[in-house]
Amino acid sequence: MKLDILALAAHPDDTELCCSGTLASLVKKGYKVGVVDLTQGEMGTRGTPELRMQESQNAAKIIGLQNRENLKLPDCGLENTPEHREAIITAVRKYRPDICFISAPDDRHPDHGNASRLIVDALYYGGLRKLKTADEGESQQPWRPYHILHYMQDRPFVPTFVYDISDTIETKEKAILAFSSQFNVPESDDGPKTYISGKKFFRTIESRARHYGHLIGVEFGEPFLYHGGPVPLHDLKFLMNSKPMR
């Protein structure tokens, strides 16, 4: 199944929090979009792996993803090993995306930075012809995406660009709330409270989207960091089609 865009994340719900507005917008524009979660989030304080898997599928339907896969690598154990790289390479070679969205280069949660370094290496090695992988017994061809974009997670960075999600902010919020075990949990809930479970954290998601939207002259935006050097351009149509209010 060839995808145009593939987002990779350490945990279920990472892409919902960080780039689901962009993913939903790309789906609306007709692109084939998918997500690969590296772990089941089994070390999380709230919920179970089974529940989080179901929540991730519910969120996928809300966004309109073509496909969502979980590699079941160890939560809190994302080491840059040949075995972990091979799992990612196999998935990327299966979907053959032109663009990959990946974890932040460094972040509050160690898994996010570890996942970023692991994914970057896997995406490079996936282009090597002598590195052999197979999917369901079929040998795979090498594949390396043309563009890699880091989405912003808990800690901010200076973005290369910001994507306008003004038309999909409601889809983003619905996708996040599909993870009802994790976010916007009522005060009456007798489960453990976490850094992300309360209503205050959920409000910061909209606040960040408003902030980055403001920087590009729109209502809501999601920031990205382009990986691997300058952004290659062949024309300026994307600027001609953008008329920000500044």
- The pLDDT assigned to 47 comes to 83
How far, in Å, CA of 177 to CA of 182, rounded? 8
Rounded mean pLDDT of 9-14? Answer: 96
Count of domains forming the chain:
1
Q: What is the extent of the structural domain holding 162?
A: 5-240
What pTM value is reported for the model?
Answer: 0.94
Give domain status of residue 45, yes or no: yes
Give domain status of residue 245, yes or no: no
68 — pLDDT class (breaks 50, 70, 90) = very high
8 A C-beta contact, residue 179 and residue 44 = no
Per-residue pLDDT for 219 more than 80?
Answer: yes
- The pLDDT assigned to 149 comes to 98
Question: pLDDT over 70 for what percent of the chain?
Answer: 100
Strands (E), the chain: 5-9, 33-39, 67-73, 99-102, 134-135, 138-139, 147-151, 161-164, 221-226
How far, in Å, CA of 161 to CA of 149, rounded? 10
Give domain status of residue 246, yes or no: no
Per-residue pLDDT for 104 more than 90?
Answer: yes
- The pLDDT assigned to 189 comes to 80
| pLDDT tens-digit map of 185-208 | 887 787 888 888 888 888 999 999
* Poorest-pLDDT segment among 41-45, 88-92, 164-168, 241-245: 241-245
Give domain status of residue 52, yes or no: yes
Give domain status of residue 167, yes or no: yes
Q: What is the CATH number of the domain that holds 184?
A: 3.40.50.10320
Q: What is the mean pLDDT of the chain?
A: 95
Per-residue pLDDT for 124 more than 80?
Answer: yes
